[in-house]
Structure 1
Amino acid sequence: MTAATHHPALAGKKALVVGIANEHSIAYGCASAFRQLGAELAITYANEKSRSYVEPLARELQAPILMPCDVSHAGELEAVFERVAKDWGRLDILVHSIAWAPKEDLQGPLHACSADGFAKAIDISCHSFIRMARLAAPLMKEGGTMMAMSYHGAQKVVANYNVMGPVKAALEASCRYLAYELGPQAIRVHAISPGPLKTRAASGLKDFELLLNEASERAPVGELVDIMDVGFACAYLATPYARRITGGTVYVDGGMHIMG
């Protein structure tokens, strides 16, 4: 009897990961998990300052595509997808892990949020995923998986999450509608809701340490999740094992969201 040949679950897949800032980023956990399961990576960095942190990670993950992508700069997002189309001709996995709001709007109460701040938060944190989906769908010729990072503050009020609550709620709704629209093309769309993590983006939230402490105390598993927990959950969703799962919000939070 000949031994079965083992193929990594994502062998041959092409994955674009947007949102790595450093080795603590959720997006890096996703990229690392994809790579461990055999995928080839395209990675972006926000600006020249972040490039110094992201470039060594791209080398470590053997990513053949590394490009700048500030979604607020005209043309940068389109250039990334043009490169993917030129080099690969297709795309199987897309991860959107970016969020931003002006500090004064992020740290103040929602009722004090400026119209301009809200518009920027929605554009960068939500509408950019819709734009990515529009660019990615034609490249997912044999189907694919799209994922966007949310948080429990989209579903329930979390103290000090402020403007990002309604923004993430809009993102989760967008995932549902995209799942419906793209399902006939065998493209699945997921909102991923990790528990609190020590990332650079999260550090901008007021009293974030309190959120971390509460999560570790209240989660049924009794501890915080890490970026690799999120990464491997996303990797699973990108495999054929999850071929009938789409449109929902997938919690990776140690069960904290079930607590009253």
Structure 2
Amino acid sequence: MNAANSSEPVHDFLGLRGKTILVMGVANKKSVAYRIALVLRQAGAAVIYSVRSEARKESLEKLLKDQPVIVCDVADQAQIDSLARHLAAEQVVLDGLVHSIAFADYPEGIRPFHETTRRQFLQAVDISAYSLISVCNALKDRFSEQASVVTIGISTTRMASESYGFMAPIKAALESSLAFLTKSFSRFSEVRFNSVSAGLLKTSASAGIPGYVDSYLFAEKVIPRRRAVTTDEVANTAAFLLSSRSSGIAAQSIVVDAAMAINYFDADVVQAVTAQDID
């Protein structure tokens, strides 16, 4: 029987209908955070958005329409605390949190890793990794008993990709913190912390990283299906992790790379490179 023609009611498989999710990090319609929020809303969840500035809020008004948007620059602890107070005043209970926030400053383009400055590294750690810890601590009383927290990582933190600058060690710190957050929160709740560790994506943020586009095009050649990972594929995985269907998954980094990691030595790619060397 064709499910579309069935008289039976559609089952809410993910169980997200009526849930309230805070999504942090929307920049534009190409953002991972925006695509996640879209999937959540399609599943019937209520989404609260958090953006880094008033200017960003104004630029997103048409995109987000009448959705609730709160300004919170995670580099400022006072704004994180203000976010928590606002949600408390509104008596919001969060069933989930999406942390899709990352920042790295490359004023002179990508430099060798050993030339990374203290200011660059610590700023990136603060905004991209520590912010998850700080936000979750501030919101600990706002989470439901079995809430799910999902952050966005990268498919591997061991590949020394020059096009990603110094962000891989930062993402490694972010992903490592998932285990420690899960453990510390287990003292008073069943809140879960996981990461969607994405392969190379076509987003406005990634396009601004020097050399990233070339790496993205290479990824398309190496991935077995010859198509790069899409933002929606990452969003769908995040929605699953935010749902009760993933209740047994905690302190994990789920890799979404379309099997790129198994195929670095694809025969066609190796042949193309070696042929250039011969020429």
Fold in common (TM above 0.5): yes
Q: Which residue of 2 aligns with 1:13?
A: 19
SS across alignment from 1:138: coil
How many Å separate the matches in 2 of 1:175 and 1:258?
25
Q: Which residue of 2 aligns with 1:202?
A: 206
Distance 1:5 1:150, change over 3 A: closer
Aligned partner (choices 25, 46, 54) of residue 48 of structure 1 = 54
SS across alignment from 1:75: helix
Q: Which residue of 1 aligns with 2:253?
A: 249
Distance 1:47 1:134, change over 3 A: same
Aligned partner (choices 220, 223, 228) of residue 224 of structure 1 = 228
Percent identical among aligned pairs is 28
Alignment of 1:37 onto 2:43: yes
How many Å separate the matches in 1 of 2:235 and 2:10?
25
How many Å separate the matches in 2 of 1:12 and 1:70?
27
Q: Which residue of 2 aligns with 1:125?
A: 128
Alignment of 1:72 onto 2:75: yes
Deviations 1:173-220 (A, max 9, x none): 011221222245111111211121122221232211111111111112
Could you state the TM-score of these two structures normalised by the residue count of structure 2? 0.85
How many Å separate the matches in 1 of 2:200 and 2:158?
15
Could you state the TM-score of these two structures normalised by the residue count of structure 1? 0.91
Contact persistence 2:110–2:162 (CA under 8 A):
no
Q: Which residue of 2 aligns with 1:169?
A: 172
- Bigger CA drift: 102-111 or 207-216? 102-111
Contact persistence 1:106–1:163 (CA under 8 A):
no
SS across alignment from 1:92: strand
**Which blocks of at least 5 consecutive residues in structure 2 are unaligned?**
1-6, 265-279
Q: Which residue of 2 aligns with 1:84?
A: 87
How many Å separate the matches in 2 of 1:25 and 1:113?
27
How many Å separate the matches in 2 of 1:157 and 1:113?
14
Letter in 2 for 1:149: I
Distance 1:105 1:12, change over 3 A: farther
Letter in 1 for 2:249: I
Name the Cα RMSD after superposition.
2.0
Letter in 1 for 2:31: S
- Bigger CA drift: 241-250 or 174-183? 174-183
Q: Which residue of 1 aligns with 2:4?
A: none
How many Å separate the matches in 2 of 1:58 and 1:254?
30
Letter in 1 for 2:111: G
- Bigger CA drift: 88-97 or 34-43? 88-97
How many Å separate the matches in 1 of 2:9 and 2:103?
47
SS across alignment from 1:154: coil
Contact persistence 1:45–1:54 (CA under 8 A):
no
- Bigger CA drift: 189-198 or 164-173? 189-198
Distance 1:106 1:149, change over 3 A: farther
SS across alignment from 2:164: coil
SS across alignment from 2:163: coil
Give 1:223 deviation, angstroms. Answer: 0.8
Q: Which residue of 2 aligns with 1:28?
A: 34
How many Å separate the matches in 1 of 2:29 and 2:210?
23
Deviations 1:8-64 (A, max 9, x none): 6201111001100000000001111111111101102222332233222322xx52x
Q: Which has the larger radius of gyration?
A: 2
Distance 1:106 1:139, change over 3 A: farther
Distance 1:124 1:26, change over 3 A: same
Contact persistence 2:104–2:120 (CA under 8 A):
yes
How many Å separate the matches in 2 of 1:152 and 1:141?
29
Aligned partner (choices 99, 102, 105) of residue 102 of structure 2 = 99
Alignment of 1:258 onto 2:269: no
Distance 1:45 1:108, change over 3 A: same
